[in-house]
Amino acid sequence: MELLNSSFSEPKEFSRLIGLKGWNYKKAKRMEVVVVGCGGLGSPIARLISRFGIGKLTLIDNDIVEIENLNRDGFEIKDVGKNKAEVLKSKIENFFDSHPISIKAIPENVLNISVDEIVETADLVITATDTTNSRIYVNDVCIQHNTKMIDVGFTTDGLRGHVRLIIPGKTACLRCTYFELPSPEKTNLKDKLNLEKKTGYAISPAPTLTFLASLAAMMAFNVLFEISRLPSYISANLAEMKFSVVELKKNPKCEVC
């Protein structure tokens, strides 16, 4: 194998990835991934994908860690009161000895910032946020810049969820299946920001979230290192331990893709 004989030496942290199909450190180090939402899903996703040896990670979340979040994997009592993106950045920065990973934490609601520049240069964007507006907004920007996206979500009963892959121009984007949405010009996603006040909470057992996070992280690995052709939608019903894979077709009437 070419890599095993390569004179290029990777940090020892990644020696147990050598030989893994598609992966090599040089390639990984050039990768740039954006994670939108750094809670119970986004936090394990970011921690897992950083273990691939990627060089640049952008974390976006305006939320603060609360006592109620401590049932989720990745948060500790000392994190309470701090911004989720900044907490995650400080944890990942302690993962490695000689691997330089550049992490930018943006403690803002994604709807309040322009993500064009961030998305344009990224190899992959992952949305793990609990609001539809945020994911649709990121979807639109990803399609515009031809950036691949993975969307992850779970149901309010805490037992089911999905991982979805969006390859602009090839697979269905989020708007292809949210039929009720008007065109981007009329949607004004950002104007709806104030309507996003939380009216309840999603039940969120840690294993559901980490299961979906692992699935999303492995899908990310597949996308970044081009391992195989992937399905565009995976749903997991963890109440009945049933899993399904669906190919979502592009909607010819979609306004963005």
Residue 135 makes contact with Zn ion by CB under 5 A? no
Q: Which residue is nearest to Zn ion (CB)?
A: 254
Choice between 125 and 254, CB closer to Zn ion: 254
138 binds Zn ion (CB under 5 A): no
Of 170 and 242, the one with the shorter C-beta distance to Zn ion is 170
Stretches 31-39, 46-54, 165-173, 225-233: which one binds Zn ion (CB under 5 A)?
165-173
Does residue 254 bind Zn ion (CB under 5 A)?
yes
User: Which position has the token pair 């010819």?
Assistant: 252
At 11, list the tokens.
């940090």
On whether the CB atoms of residues 243 and 171 are closer than 8 A, the answer is no
Burial of 211 from C-beta contacts in 10 A (0-12 / 13-18 / 19+): middle
Q: Choose between 128 and 166: whose C-beta lies nearer to Zn ion.
A: 166
Nearer to Zn ion, 86 or 151 (CB): 151
Stretch that binds Zn ion, among 101-109, 132-140, 171-179, 215-223 (CB under 5 A): 171-179
**Of the candidates 136, 176, 223, 224, which one interacts with Zn ion according to CB under 5 A?**
176
Q: Based on CB atoms, which residue is closest to Zn ion, 50 or 232?
A: 232
The least CB distance from residue 112 to Zn ion, in Å, is 24
Q: How many residues bind Zn ion (CB under 5 A)?
A: 5
Pick 93 or 255: Cβ nearer Zn ion: 255
* Site residues (CB under 5 A) for Zn ion, limited to 31-90: none
- Binding residues for Zn ion, rule: CB under 5 A, are 173, 175-176, 254, 257
